[in-house]
Amino acid sequence: METIPYSGDMGGWGGPVRWEASADGVCERPVSRAATIKDVARRAEVGVATVSRVLSGSGPVSPATRERVLRAVRELEYRPSALGRSLKTQRTGSIGLVVGEITDPFCAELAAGVLACARTLGEHVLLDAAHDDPAREAEIVDRLVEQRVDGIIAIPTGHGDRWRAAMRAGVAVVFADRAPAELPEIPSVLADDAAGVRSAVEYLAGLGHRRIGFLGTTAPGAAPGTDAGVREATFRTALAERGLAPEEDLVVRARPSRDSAFAAAAGLLQRRPDLTAVLAATHLLGEAAVLVARELDLRIPADVSIVMVDDVPWAELCDPPLTAVARPGRDMGYRACEVLLRDPARRERGRPVVLPTELVIRGSCGPRTGMPGGAARSARTR
């Protein structure tokens, strides 16, 4: 048993204390380390098992003993170490959350949902951002596995290997928002993007628009089944169903950065002054479309109608307010967490949970005008 230097004038405190020289090396002062279950047991004059029983509420303890233990706990400000417990129980009570970029409103919304659910279930959340970089994602997953998280919720960007490795290591995984086709065995919680895009196209077509531009994203892995793929594919299908030939020239893709989005929007709007509506597949693309339209002196919706996927707070503040396909980010996060933590059955089957989207109609779309202002537009070159 270790011996602990004991200070007489501490009134028999009995807590863990050690003496350490302070930085200046002159005056010494007591530095307390966190109390352990042993310290509590010693002070309450009971065994460590009893302390554990009292604290976890398992097993029988006499009221008198319980009181003694609780008093010791209070006096020592004892906080059981999750480390010891986790090592023993093989459960850490924490989950990993891997998003693209936490400052992205959708990711943040999803994170909020995860946080809310995790809280009700008493779990901690380890957050990290992969920035759409598969290598970084792989590294994050590795580290999360080392931390022995009980599970991982991710908006995946990379390929299958690392995720399979995680599952082999015994870590449950649930995807949110995206579900790589190569990993059908991993359960996922998605928004019904297809329905969302379809509703947007139908809305625009119903307004009389015939030449609709599409601002999409280059799928990182270019894997079919990726959200970008779904949105673009649905756009084409929906158009075709209406008997509108999907002109290749009207579909442009950008990388997920503001610059790239802006360039894509500028390219589209300048190259095709004849289009009367734009469907932006992400809020970044929607933002770019609005900015570019403004730059080109295009009036919204008189000259060009705009719809975007993802309803973010600024959609309401925009002038005119932007029509958008709302996706339930928070619900998706909450649901993903539920699937991960309390729905092993569903996890087993791996069929995706699909949550509905909603077309929120505001003021950014109008009927196709006879004169789309092509002359004025082509005259200006940003």
* Contacting positions for a copy of itself (CB under 8 A): 23, 32-34, 77, 79-84, 86-87, 92, 94, 97, 101-103, 105, 108-109, 111-112, 115, 119, 124-129, 142-143, 145-148, 165, 168-170, 287, 290-291, 294, 313-314, 316-319, 348
Return the amino acid letter for 280: A
Question: Cβ contacts of residue 350 below 8 Å, gap of 6+?
Answer: 184, 185, 186, 187
Minimum CB distance to DNA, residue 96 (Å): 18
* Minimum distance, C-beta of residue 344 to DNA, in the bound complex (Å): 19
User: Phi/psi zone of residue 28: left (φ > 0), alpha (ψ -120 to 50 degrees), beta?
Assistant: beta
Which amino acid, one-letter code, is at 155? I
State in angstroms the smallest separation of the CB of 159 from a copy of itself: 17
Query: What part of residues 83-102 is at the interface with DNA (CB under 7 A)?
Result: 83-85, 87-90
Q: From the list a copy of itself, DNA, none, pick the one residue 381 interacts with, judged by a Cβ distance below 5 to 8 Å according to partner type.
A: none
> Binders of DNA among 148-167, rule CB under 7 A?
none
User: Choosing among DNA, a copy of itself, none, which partner's interface includes residue 92 (Cβ < 5 to 8 Å by kind)?
Assistant: a copy of itself
Choose the contact partner of 52 out of DNA, a copy of itself, none; CB within 5 to 8 A by kind.
Answer: DNA
Q: Which does 75 bind (CB under 5 to 8 A by kind): a copy of itself, DNA, none?
A: none
Report the residue number, 259 or 348, with the smaller CB distance to a copy of itself: 348
61/116 with CB nearer a copy of itself: 116
| Residue 367, token pair as written in the block | 């009927």
Nearer to a copy of itself, 111 or 179 (CB): 111
Residue spans of beta strands (DSSP E) within 67-138? 94-99, 124-129
Residue 89 Cβ, how far from a copy of itself at the closest point, in Å?
10
Residue with tokens 């809280």: 119
Cα–Cα distance between 61 and 56 in angstroms, integer? 11
Q: Give the helix/strand (H/E) hosting 288.
A: helix 283-295
For 43, residues 6+ apart whose C-beta sits below 8 A from its C-beta are 14, 15, 72, 75, 76
188 close to 175: Cβ distance less than 8 angstroms: yes
> Interface residues for DNA in 35-74 (CB under 7 A)?
36-38, 45-53, 55-56, 58-62, 64-66
Residues 132/157, Cβ–Cβ less than 8 Å: yes
Could you say which of a copy of itself, DNA, none residue 48 binds, taking C-beta under 5 to 8 angstroms by partner kind? Answer: DNA
CB 364 within 8 A of CB 307: yes
- Residue 201 as a binder of DNA (CB under 7 A): the answer is no
Give me the DSSP letters along 20-34. Answer: EE-TTSSSEEEEEPP
Residues 6 or more apart in contact with residue 361 via CB below 8 angstroms = 203, 323
- Binds DNA by CB under 7 A, chosen from 32, 81, 120, 147: 81
Binding site for DNA (CB under 7 A): 2, 33-34, 36-38, 45-53, 55-56, 58-62, 64-66, 79-81, 83-85, 87-90
